[in-house]
Amino acid sequence: MAALQADGNRVSLSVKDTATDPAKALEGLTNLKEQGVKLVIGPYASSEVRKVKEFADDNGIILMSPLSTATSLAVPDDNVLRFTPDDEQEGISVANLAYADGIRTIVPITRDDEGNKGLQSVMKRAFEGLGGTVAPLITYPAGTEDFTDTVRDLVAGVSAASAEGGPVGIYLTAFGEVTKLFDAAAGSPQLESMAWYGSDSVALSKGLLEDPTAASFATKAGYLWSGCSRSASPSLDFF
């Protein structure tokens, strides 16, 4: 989260690392308010925006969030400006893309936060509206470091969905922890053979590309970020 302060023709930058933690975001914004800041670029996640929104509105602080997507935060005439489409547009796009690819059952997995769960909710409604099936949602807490149990749950979910017949895909809504998740999933032929779909928060992920194990898994799985066409490339794609 960064704040801009103008002094004549000079602009100074004050940066607060929120670590995508809502409590730290509010602490940082409170500190910036004490400095007289009125314009902030950030915070990043919908959960953070939810935490600081009332404070920003009450204190006349403009927030410019680069990646918040929760539909619940689309409030007219407030102090939050967002750069990306909300959950409604992205979730519907992913559902249509997967269905067009021939997927008829989706196993959803998500980081447990407002924005990512919102994407899953919209995708589920849209995909089922097309005639597809969405399996029970698999979640993992923010801050997860060891994805062994999560991957085990995902394999179980994929196995159950595959037993019902029809092409199965995985929809993952995540942040940077996708790298650790893919590290844990590497070597699983079943997960590598699935069609994976991802979310905007992972697009252009530098960390994923710099991790050989995770990048190799993403390539084998044909992992797609939201907005890609599976037919356009057999490997890594970005929107």
What average pLDDT does the segment 117-121 reach?
91
- 135-155 pLDDT, tens digit per residue, is 999 999 988 999 999 999 999
Q: Of the ranges 99-108, 187-196, 228-237, which one carries the lowest mean pLDDT score?
A: 228-237
What average pLDDT does the segment 80-108 reach?
89
The predicted model scores a pTM of 0.74
Are 51 and 133 within one domain?
A: no
Are 43 and 74 within one domain?
A: yes
Give a yes or no: residue 13 inside a domain.
Answer: yes
Most confident of 17-26, 129-138, 206-215: 129-138
pLDDT number for residue 52: 94
Are 126 and 55 within one domain?
A: no
What average pLDDT does the segment 112-131 reach?
92
What average pLDDT does the segment 157-178 reach?
92
Model confidence at 125: pLDDT above 90: yes
pLDDT number for residue 53: 93
CB atoms within 10 A of CB 187: 10
The side-by-side arrangement of strands in the sheet containing 39-41 is 10-15, 2-7, 39-41, 62-65, 80-82
Are 162 and 93 within one domain?
A: yes
Residue 226: which CATH number?
3.40.50.2300
Are 77 and 114 within one domain?
A: no
Are 105 and 220 within one domain?
A: yes
What average pLDDT does the segment 90-112 reach?
94
Domain end marker among 82, 105, 127: 82
pLDDT number for residue 235: 33
What average pLDDT does the segment 221-225 reach?
73
What average pLDDT does the segment 59-78 reach?
87
- 39-55 pLDDT, tens digit per residue, is 999 998 888 999 999 99
Share of the chain above pLDDT 90, in %: 51
Q: Give the residue, 2 or 142, on which the prediction is more confident.
A: 142
Are 128 and 69 within one domain?
A: no
What average pLDDT does the segment 106-124 reach?
92
Contacts of 230 (CB under 8 A, 6+ apart): 97, 101, 195, 222, 224
The pLDDT confidence band at residue 3, using thresholds 50, 70 and 90, is: low
Q: How many domains does the chain have?
A: 2
Give a yes or no: residue 76 inside a domain.
Answer: yes
* Residue 14: domain span: 2-82
pLDDT number for residue 234: 33
Give a yes or no: residue 237 inside a domain.
Answer: no
The pLDDT confidence band at residue 171, using thresholds 50, 70 and 90, is: very high
Give a yes or no: residue 238 inside a domain.
Answer: no
Chain-wide mean pLDDT for the chain?
A: 85
Are 109 and 153 within one domain?
A: yes
Torsion of CA 182, 188, 194, 198, to 10 degrees: -10
